[in-house]
Amino acid sequence: MSTESTQSQACCNVPAVVSKGYEPKGDYITADGLKTYATGPKDAKQGILVVYDIFGFFSQTLQGADILAYSDKEHGYQVFMPDFFEGEAADISWYPPDNEEKGQKLGEFFKTKAAPPKTLPRIPKIVEELGKSKGIEKWAIVGYCWGGKIVNLSSQEGTPFKVAAAVHPAMVAGDDAPKITIPFAMLPSKDEPKDDVEKWQQGIKTTNIVEWFPTQVHGWMAARADLEDEEVKKEYERGYKTVLDFFHKHM
């Protein structure tokens, strides 16, 4: 069971969400050799590492990073989103994998580009490098879809993070939950398997919330967000508010 209320603590004011033609506020730097989107107040001592979904630097995901960086006037965050796929993200037209060709392309991508053992060792290096160069004293991590799995695996013993969130996470596994050592928020969509999420929630021992978004598709806070749809836009905003409230409380 969740160990705290999922009600918003009203710690922040999410900026107006731009439906189309969003212009990112940040710029690109290099971290552990990877092109990395960097945003947020440069003097902030708290950082958030964003693990994007398999579609990479999408406008909706970049806007999300800016929301995380600038919503809380009293507690700004420096936010960093590395390009783990090094310019070769998946094509969004492959999703949903509703025919054999799309399924094969997605499957091959997960095997070659998105296998967690390729990404996991880079995360501590990136955090250490950015912590030193940017003066960050505490870290949180958030991941979308595939990134949610990376976050689960990065929140275990020896983690450099104080708090974590997995948003419409892929590959939810009950076996991951007991190994998590930090406060953790999970935000599933209507497309995540309920049994898998419930098994995960039963297994986690740290402070946690599971906040369902039952009207939203897998990907609504990242690349698959149709922000011209008012309901999606509202729930996109609520999702970011939920993550920020949780981070604010546990950083």
Number of domains in the chain: 1
Within 10 angstroms of residue 133's Cβ, the number of other Cβ atoms is 10
Which residues fall within 8 angstroms of residue 199, CB to CB, at 6 or more apart? Answer: 174, 177
Examine residue 151 and state whether it is found in any structural domain, yes or no.
yes
Q: Which pTM value belongs to this model?
A: 0.94
pLDDT at 5: 42
Full residue range of the structural domain in which residue 87 is found: 27-250
pLDDT at 12: 67
What is the CATH number for 76?
3.40.50.1820
Examine residue 15 and state whether it is found in any structural domain, yes or no.
no
Note the pLDDT tens digit of each residue in 91-103: 999 988 899 999 9
Per DSSP, the three-state class of 212 is: coil
Examine residue 183 and state whether it is found in any structural domain, yes or no.
yes
pLDDT at 18: 92
pLDDT at 10: 44
| Helix pair angle (59-70, 230-250), 10° resolution | 40
Note the pLDDT tens digit of each residue in 105-156: 999 999 999 999 999 999 999 999 999 999 999 999 999 999 999 999 999 9
Residues of the chain with pLDDT below 70 are 1-12
Which residues fall within 8 angstroms of residue 133, CB to CB, at 6 or more apart? Answer: none
Examine residue 7 and state whether it is found in any structural domain, yes or no.
no
pLDDT at 80: 98
pLDDT at 3: 47
Examine residue 230 and state whether it is found in any structural domain, yes or no.
yes
DSSP string, 7-72: S------PPPPP-SS---S-EEEEETTEEEEEES-TT-SEEEEEE--TT-S-HHHHHHHHHHHHS-
Bridge partners, residue 35, by sequence? 30
